Each structure stands twice: as structure tokens, then as C-alpha cells.
A and B are shown apart, each in its own frame.
Chain A
């Protein structure tokens, strides 16, 4: 049986690893929808997530948050990372909680597109 040279095998494996590692890209975006500036919250501040319902107390929407990931074949699902990232963005804009979480998933050729958006809010005193 004809054996493939070791150098060639190594080269193919290396190319495959580089290619697959480069096939996941994520980006986060947030933009204000309220003119006021709110102080950034510390990392220890726990952002409450209202996935399916709205909070009982009065609130104001202050920013739109978005987490977008495009990946090919393998790679983490991205949902955990998405929520962690949304909470991080929420703290940065000075929010108390996030509401209206919306998840979408679509395909473009070989690429899986996964998007999570939410609205950052502050509770009115």
C-alpha cells in the first residue's frame, strides 16, 4: 500500500486546523436609544434577564444590544457566550436588566449565522 509522506500529512492537518479555527467569528454591537448617559455598572453587578416577559416595575429602554456569530461546521453553540456578552454590554451602558431577547438562526452557504439581540433597560426610581 502506498504511504503518504509524513510531511504531507502534517501539512494537511495543519491547514485543516488553521482553516477550522478561523471559521468562527463573532461581533458585538450596542447603540444608545436614550439621550441620557448612565454610569457603567461594575463587573459584579448582576444583570437580570427577562426573556419572555416584561418587568413589573416601570422602566426605560436605553440601548439596543446585539451579539452576532457566524461559523462553519464545528465550534461552540454560542448561546452561553451570547448571554454573557449581552450582560457585559448591558453593564457598560449602565443598564439594570435586559428585555426582549430575540434569537435568530439562519444559513448562508456553508456558514451558520446566529444572532441574539436584546434591549437594555434601567428601572425608574
Chain B
């Protein structure tokens, strides 16, 4: 009787921890986010959201604002190039679902000195999928807010 109860408790705890993303499968880091071409302004599936917008700011201004917006939602910046930023929200354990694990990629395409096209893509990953969010739209809004506050 006791061993049956212990088995049930142990299975439940394992399920909760796995759902919260306590373990990271090997393939989690290999997930790819491919932004859409510049013509489309938005693309959304259950696991991926891409938003594209042309903004009247230089690529340098957008780079700084993007980094600010990324760290403000708890991202760790993994790669940084003049036209590209890749970041990931670390997995966090929660009581039920936890959070984090999303991969975010931002691409910059220079239109001219003061205009840049920005592509923001979020992809959900396997570990902690339930507690993840597609941040692209919110992130782009935050970037625009940061830029407008600086004016």
C-alpha cells in the first residue's frame, strides 16, 4: 500500500519537473528560427512568431534598444553581430509549468542611414513548452517604446 502511494507521488513529481523544463533535452539548443523575408510583416504558428517592421532609426540605435528590450524580458544574449542578435530565455522551474526556454532572434536590414528593417522572431522549444510565450510582438513594441523615450 505504502509502496504504491510512493510510486504515485514519485511519478507525479517527475511529471511536474519535466513539464517545468527542469531537464533540457539535447536537441533544445539546436532549434532554428528562420525569419521570413522582408515582404511579410507577420508570420505566426503555434511554435513560431515573426514580425517585421521598418523603423526610422539607424541600425546602431536599434541594436542598443533591442538589447535593452531583450534583457528586460529575461533573455540572455547568446550571439551578437552588427546585423543580428540571438538570445534565449533560460528555463526556470515552477510549481506547475515554470517558464523560459524560448529562443529569440533579431535581424537588422539597413534601408538607408536613418531607416532600418527589423525582424523579430521567437521560437518555443521542447523543454518547458507549456510555460513559454511568443514574445515577438511585445518585444518589438518594447523596442519602439525605448526608442521613443530617448527622443
Contact = CB atoms under 8 A, between A and B. Distances in A.
Nearest to B17: A19
A108 B71 contact: no
Contact of A66 (B6, B72, B98): B72
A113 B95 contact: no
Interface stretch (B43-51, B86-94, B107-115): B86-94
Contact of A73 (B74, B77, B95): B95
A8 B2 contact: yes
B9 interface: yes
Interface residues of A, number: 29
Interface stretch (A25-33, A36-44, A46-54, A76-84): A25-33
Contacts of B96: 109-110
A68 interface: yes
A23 B95 contact: yes
A64 B67 contact: yes
A29 B71 contact: yes
Contacts of A111: 92, 94, 98-99, 131
Interface residues of B, number: 28
Interface of B: 2, 5-6, 9, 13, 16, 64, 67-68, 71-74, 76-77, 90, 92-100, 130-131, 133
30 contacts: A8-B2, A8-B6, A11-B6, A12-B9, A15-B9, A19-B16, A20-B95, A22-B93, A23-B92, A27-B74, A29-B77, A64-B64, A64-B67, A64-B71, A66-B68, A66-B72, A70-B92, A70-B99, A70-B100, A72-B95, A108-B99, A108-B131, A108-B133, A109-B96, A109-B97, A110-B97, A111-B131, A113-B74, A115-B73, A117-B68
Given A64-B67, A117-B68, 7 more contacts: A25-B90, A31-B67, A66-B71, A70-B99, A109-B96, A109-B99, A113-B73
